Chains A and B, each alone.
Chain A
Amino acid sequence: MSRILVQQLAVTYPIFNRARSSLDTQTAALDPGEDFGGIQRLVRDKHGYIKGVRALEDVSFEVNEGERIGLVGANGSGKTTLLQVLAGIYPPDNGCVLVDGRTTSLVNINLGMRSEATGNQNITLRGLASGRTRAEIEERRSEIAAFAGLGEFIDLPVETYSAGMRMRLNFAIATAFEPDILILDEWLSAGDAKFRKLASERMATFVGQAGILVLASHSQSLLLSNCTRGLWLHDGRIRMDAPMNEVLSAYEESGHKLSLTRQ
């Protein structure tokens, strides 16, 4: 049984270098940073110093087994933060987050890998870190290597990989151990067409096994082919929660552009 329950979630990132906005606080409202909702989202102390950024506020939703959620929203709307909270990396400041099921998240492809270690060593480390035994890891090793398609690069340090190769390896490891809940950030759309096709197929079989998928993306085709339900985040709040195609058309109507990458 996998399930996600989020209630009144709020997250504020602290800022410690005592930055003071270069914009005059009186006139800043006339000159807001494009779409970042600057003035309402920066938390200031009484001297006007910025001490935090409110990333999420009053976010509530529930996801049940087999649902595939597509997250949309402009840059800085809180998508990545929400994914990281669901992945259990950031504890919420406020509200509650209940996640039932084994979760795997791929939010930043540079994280969760030792760049000095080889691809093979990273398979071991990540496998152990997700609570698998050595035997289970050895069983999947060749399958992971084949999916990542790295050939002999699998025995070279990850720092020698291109961004695309890192992404393939990361995705291969993350999905190989059949998580109940898979959390993916938008970088997936950076892959080439062949990889996106492979990844989509893999996600389809995974969701067929009644897992939950949460995918943040700006790519219309990726969202439409993988997700059933859409969540639209705007300035750290949920603006819309509806079937994927409805959310996408409302999102485009409001003037946002989605990329139309072909599969």
Chain B
Amino acid sequence: MVELWRTFAWDEIKQRYRRSVLGVSWIVVSFLMFVAGVSFFFSGFSGRELDSFIVYVALGYAAFIFITGNFIDGCQVFTSSHVWIKAMPLPYSVHVYRSLFRSFLIFALQMAVVVPIMMWMGWRPSFLSLLAVPALLVYVLNAVAVQYMLGLVSARFEDVGHLVTSITRLLIFVTPILWVREGLDGTRAFAADLNPLTHYVEIFRSPLLGEMPRTTSWLVVCILTLAVWGAATGFAAAFRRRLPYWL
């Protein structure tokens, strides 16, 4: 089964870029373009040095697209696999793993490019950086539940997909990716904290920047992870059997 979703995911990535000259490297190119552009235009507002702001944006943005990519992919995880769901009795989670593995590959590719650039700019890993590893595990854990649940709901209600896309588009502005939360005054810093993504991004980015993530952030993330899994298990138990009829 592991072999199956790995092959499915890899095949999908290759197909997507099959007819472009740069191929899979488009993932890296478009990511670098975003980071360079944002760092150039926004660094003046952040109060951080340019070098450290570039690292801040690169790490935050990579985490952000991995997380929100799971929302968008999640809405299509079953509808896009209907060719298989209606042909073979595979466990539906295979399609979730396939989708998740693909977005993780993209994330890994971006990190593989970002880390050498960071090293070249003087960044060095520390013991604190290791805290990013449990953060990644938590990302994956959340992504499985979120994709399964959104996949089920949007197979039945197509509107959910459109709603999620609209919200995701807004999230880039209200999450501290392009701006730094620490520089904000009381109310706005509080407002930023109301956004769960702030905490999800922070538990991964802070340790890599040599800062200890706040306990609040880890707490929020842990509670939300439990909530998401609870909801997803409930949804799966109630509606999984209806899925092929909805597609």
Chain A residues 68-121 with CB under 8 Å of chain B are: 84, 87-91, 103, 105, 107-108, 110-114, 116-117, 121
A91 to B86 Cα, complex, angstroms: 11
Confirm or deny: A18 has a beta carbon within 8 angstroms of a beta carbon on chain B. Answer: no
Given contacts A111-B84, A114-B11, A129-B88, 16 further A-B contacts (CB under 8 A): A13-B245, A87-B88, A88-B89, A89-B88, A90-B244, A90-B245, A108-B87, A111-B83, A112-B83, A113-B83, A116-B18, A117-B15, A125-B7, A125-B11, A128-B4, A129-B90
* Most chain A CB neighbours (cut-off 10 Å) among B3, B87, B156: B87
Confirm or deny: B218 has a beta carbon within 8 angstroms of a beta carbon on chain A. Answer: no
Cβ of B246: which chain A residues have Cβ within 8 Å of it?
14
Secondary structure dominating the interface of B: helix
Confirm or deny: A20 has a beta carbon within 8 angstroms of a beta carbon on chain B. Answer: no
CB pair A128 B245 closer than 8 Å: no
Confirm or deny: A239 has a beta carbon within 8 angstroms of a beta carbon on chain B. Answer: no
Q: How many whole Å from A91's CB to the nearest CB in chain B?
A: 4
Chain B residues 212-247 with CB under 8 Å of chain A are: 241-242, 244-246
Given contacts A114-B11, A117-B15, A129-B4, are A91 and B90 in contact (CB under 8 A)?
no
Confirm or deny: B209 has a beta carbon within 8 angstroms of a beta carbon on chain A. Answer: no
Spell out B's residues near A (CB within 8 Å).
1, 3-4, 7-8, 11, 15, 18, 83-90, 156, 241-242, 244-246
Given contacts A121-B11, A129-B90, are A134 and B3 in contact (CB under 8 A)?
yes
A230 to B1 Cα, complex, angstroms: 36
A69 to B8 Cα, complex, angstroms: 34
CB pair B245 A14 closer than 8 Å: yes
Cβ of B7: which chain A residues have Cβ within 8 Å of it?
124-125, 128
Cβ of A117: which chain B residues have Cβ within 8 Å of it?
11, 15
A128 to B2 Cα, complex, angstroms: 10
CB pair B4 A89 closer than 8 Å: no
B1, B3, B15, B156: the one contacting A116 at CB < 8 Å is B15
CB pair A125 B8 closer than 8 Å: yes
